């Protein structure tokens, strides 16, 4: 597996650079490496606490969201570039991904 670099802005506004392996799911990477409370539903696509905001160019280069994820994003009132970390599995195409962990509601 190859190594990827993610640029993540946490909820306090600090920019962090994370090195991760291709194939890792994004939600546990953020939860474990940034020590942030996200994914309270355990990744079951029912809470929306793992909302992340991607740069629009980055959002365009990753896999499109499923219908279920789109429904949750709509229910959250999320705008363009918003995704749920529980639904993203990192691949080589995500190297250099820039994202912000959404504020807690």
pLDDT at position 19 is 95
Per-run averaged pLDDT (10 residues), the chain, 105 residues: 92 95 92 87 90 92 94 95 94 92 88
Q: What pTM value is reported for the model? A: 0.92
Q: Which residues pair with 53 in a beta bridge?
A: 82, 100
Distance CA 83, CA 62 (A): 10
What is the CATH code of the structural domain delimited by 3-101? 3.10.20.30
Indicate the domain borders of the chain: 3-101
Instruction: For 11-46, give one letter per residue: b (16+ CB within 10 A) or e.
Output: eeeeeeeeebeeebbbbebbbeebebebbeeebebe
pLDDT at position 35 is 80
pLDDT at position 1 is 67
Nearest Cα to 87, choosing from 35, 59, 95, 55? 59
Distance CA 82, CA 77 (A): 10
pLDDT at position 95 is 93
What's the residue count for the chain?
105
């Amino acid at each position: 597996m190859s190594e990827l670099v993610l640029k993540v802005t946490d909820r306090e506004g600090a920019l962090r650079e994370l090195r991760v392996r291709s194939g890792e799911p994004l939600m546990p990477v953020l939860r474990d490496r940034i020590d942030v409370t996200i994914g309270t539903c355990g990744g079951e696509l029912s809470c929306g606490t793992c909302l992340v905001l991607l740069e629009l160019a980055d959002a365009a280069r990753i896999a499109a969201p499923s219908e279920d994820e789109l429904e949750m994003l709509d229910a959250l009132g999320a705008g363009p570039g918003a995704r749920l970390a529980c639904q993203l599995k990192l691949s080589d195409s995500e190297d250099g991904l820039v994202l912000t962990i959404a504020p807690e509601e």
